[in-house]
A and B are shown apart, each in its own frame.
Chain A
Amino acid sequence: MAEAGQLSGRARPVSSPRRWPSAVTLVRAAIILAVLVIWESVAASGLLYRDVVPRLGVIAAAVWKLLSTRDFYWHLWVTGYEIGIGLLIGGASGLLVGLALGANRLLARAYEAYLYYLGPTPKIIFFPVMIMWFGVGSGSKIAMGAISCFFPIALSTAAGMRQIDPVLIRVGRSFRLNTWQMVTKIYLPAMRAPIVNGVRLGLGVALIGTLLAETKLSNSGIGFLIINAYSLFDMPRMYAMLIVLFVLAIAANALVGRLGGLHTLRR
């Protein structure tokens, strides 16, 4: 057969060798399996209060029930909307401030330290102030998302702007580009990686800021559902919520990276 194929001169599909899972995959599978077995054993043993560690089947059923209720998608929409608008406001202002700080050395030396030191403070402490300013509805949650994501995006943009190859800037100036053209044709394309990284970081903290605010004071959104499950001591539902939330957070993070073309960048 092989000889016939070679003689005919046509490329034949070569049957791929059987792929065995790598040692790393096996170790990962073993860890996951061990965790699940330990969980199920603890749940079945009755060592801990049954509702604190529910059986895996109960959690799986809760995930299924959660995903098949229309109510969940309404709350998901509310949270998504709040995070999206927060990211838009905080991201746009962070980008503008980052561009200004990155472009001007004096401004950077005057103001960047404030951003640098305010960045790691716990933003949730501003929530009472945000309630006063924007009310108990979506406004205060959007504000929390915006405040949270502003700092990483501004700092990442400023740092990214300082790392732009000076040759690119000189090329832009030699073509007599105006400020807007410099920003859109030189600065932003050259800073794609740090900006996308900043947005990814910003998305993560905006998500935390918004959801924590929802757990504190809200009647809609995923944060509200989590704290509601806690109030009702509905542990399977709470586990289901956390699982779905973590999957969504990881997916959103990967999506931002992909949309930003981070995987295509060669450094």
Chain B
Amino acid sequence: MSAATDTARDRLVPLALGLGTLVLAIAAAELLIRIGLINRFIVPMPSQIAASFERVILEEDIVNRFRLTFLESLAAGAMITVVGVLLGLLLYRVALLRAATETWIAALASAPTVLMYPLFLVIFGRSATTIVMMGFVAGLPPVILKTIEGLAGTRRVLIDVGRSFKLRPTQLFVKILFPAALPTIFVGVRLGLIFTLINVVGVEFLINFGGLGQLINDLAERYDLPGTYAAISFVILVSVVFFIITEWIERWLRPAS
């Protein structure tokens, strides 16, 4: 009983402290803006931001914008998964090619590829293709690297069991290698999807085209401060929910390893 109470307290106290601080910070901001210590033409009151949520959702067609951003991310996500896993498999099978290119792919993962967006604008025009391709380029390296890591990390005994059953290379991949590597591959896909989402929303904002990113840009250009803050909060909420869901799937897959 006492242990259970301690566990509940261990959980609730940090949660209350975190949420309490957040509420306190919002209340402090509201107060400081109301008494004029913070300029309300620069920072809108939290109550105004909360009130503008309904307006932004109804008037700014946020459902369709969300759908557009989601579809762009989904297209880029599907591309990074298919191309990344296939390239990872190729590099796993051809050791020399892997040795030659793995450090390049790792360098590409940390390179500021998003700055190539003006180049993509020239090639694909100011369209959803540019946004999807930017998401694809940004999200591809972690999928390749984690696919190689997952396949290379398959336990030797599992491969030997497959060989003892005289499995063909395709069967060995489908029945042994891929299932064993799946949790690690998903870590790569998850990382890739996060990079993709960041780049999709970022490029939408930068080129003023598409879904949620463009909405922030639009509202900021109209000097609709509460709306801008509400849209930013919405994007943060979307990315946090996305992050939590992918993390949950990753945890669900992990026991399989």
A-side residues, CB < 8 A to B, are: 23-24, 27-28, 31, 52, 106, 109-111, 113-114, 117-118, 120-122, 124-129, 131-133, 201, 204, 207-208, 211-212, 215-216, 223, 226-227, 229-230, 233, 235, 238-239, 242, 245-246, 249-250, 253
In the bound complex, residues from chain A placing their C-beta under 8 Å from that of B117 are: 215
Once bound together, how far apart are the Cα atoms of A37 and B69, in whole Å?
A: 37
Complex contacts, B201 vs chain A, CB 8 Å: 122, 124-125
Closest 8 CB pairs of A and B: A128-B220, A109-B14, A230-B118, A110-B17, A27-B100, A110-B18, A110-B14, A122-B198
Q: State the CA gap A230–B111 with chains docked (Å).
A: 20
Q: Which residue of A lies closest to B15 (CB)?
A: A110
Bound-complex Cα distance A27 to B116 (A): 27
Residue of A nearest to B244 (CB): A117
Judge whether A212 and B42 touch: CB under 8 Å.
Answer: no
State the Cβ distance, A257 to closest chain B Cβ, in Å: 11
Q: Does B248 contact A (CB under 8 A)?
A: no
Residues A121 and B115 in contact, CB atoms below 8 Å apart: no
Is the pair A126, B232 in contact by a Cβ cutoff of 8 Å? yes
Is B96 among interface residues, defined by CB-CB distance under 8 A?
Answer: yes
B245 → A minimal CB distance (Å) = 12
Task: Please name all residues of chain A whose beta carbon is closer than 8 Å to the beta carbon of B17 when the two chains form the complex.
Answer: 106, 110-111
Q: Is the CB of A52 within 8 A of B96?
A: no
**Interface residues, chain B, CB within 8 Å of chain A?**
13-15, 17-18, 21-22, 42-43, 96-97, 99-101, 107, 110-112, 114-119, 121-123, 194, 197-199, 201-202, 205-206, 213, 216-217, 219-220, 225, 228-229, 232, 235-236, 239-240, 243-244
Give the complex CA separation of A122 and B135 in angstroms: 12
28 A-B pairs (CB sep. < 8 Å): A24-B99, A27-B96, A106-B13, A109-B14, A109-B18, A114-B18, A120-B194, A121-B236, A122-B199, A122-B205, A122-B213, A122-B239, A124-B206, A125-B216, A128-B219, A129-B228, A132-B42, A212-B114, A212-B115, A212-B206, A215-B117, A215-B206, A226-B115, A226-B118, A230-B119, A242-B115, A245-B112, A246-B111
Q: Which residue of B lies closest to A231 (CB)?
A: B118
Contacting pair A211 B206 (CB below 8 A): no
In the assembled complex, the CB of B41 is this many whole angstroms from the nearest CB of chain A, namely 9
Chain A residues with CB under 8 Å of B123's CB are 52
For the complex, give the distance between the alpha carbons of A161 and B229 in Å: 34
Q: What residues on B are CB-neighbors of A111 within 8 Å?
A: 17-18, 21
Of the candidates A23, A125, A131, A249, the one whose C-beta lies within 8 Å of that of B111 is A249
Given contacts A24-B99, A109-B14, A129-B229, contact A122 B118 (CB under 8 A): no
Alpha-carbon gap, A229 to B22, bound state (A): 44
Which residues of A sit under 8 angstroms from B115, Cβ to Cβ? 208, 211-212, 215, 223, 226, 242, 245
Q: Is the interface of A mostly helix, strand, loop or mixed?
A: helix
Contacts of A216 on B, CB cut-off 8 Å? 205-206
Contacts of B119 in A (CB 8 A): 230, 238-239, 242
Counted as pairs of residues, one from A and one from B, with CB atoms less than 8 Å apart, the total is: 128
Contact B202 A122 (CB under 8 A): yes
Among B18, B199, B228, max chain A CB count under 10 A is at: B18
Q: Which of B21, B42, B100 has the most CB of A within 10 A?
A: B100
* A residues near B206, Cβ cutoff 8 Å: 124, 212, 215-216
What's the Cα separation between A117 and B100 when bound, in Å?
Answer: 35
Measured between alpha carbons, how far is A111 from B235 in the docked complex, in Å?
20
Residues of chain B contacted by A245 (CB below 8 angstroms) = 112, 115
Residue of A nearest to B195 (CB): A120
Q: Which residues of A contact B116 (CB under 8 A)?
A: 242
Closest residue of chain A to B200, judged by CB?
A122
A125 touches B232 (CB 8 A): yes
Q: With A109-B18, A245-B112 given, name 11 new contacts (CB 8 A).
A: A24-B100, A52-B122, A111-B17, A120-B239, A122-B199, A122-B201, A122-B235, A124-B202, A125-B201, A129-B228, A216-B206
User: Which residues of A have CB within 8 Å of B101?
Assistant: 28, 31
CB distance from B33 to the nearest CB of A (A): 13
Contact between B13 and A120, CB atoms less than 8 A apart: no
Q: Taking each of A129, A216, A233, which has the highest tally of chain B beta carbons within 10 Å of its own beta carbon?
A: A129
A201 to B109, CA, bound (A): 11
CA distance A227 to B116 in the complex (A): 10
Of A118, A120, A250, the residue contacting B198 (CB under 8 A) is: A120
**Nearest neighbor of B208 in chain A, beta-carbon distance:** A216
Complex CA distance for A226 and B121, rounded to whole angstroms = 12
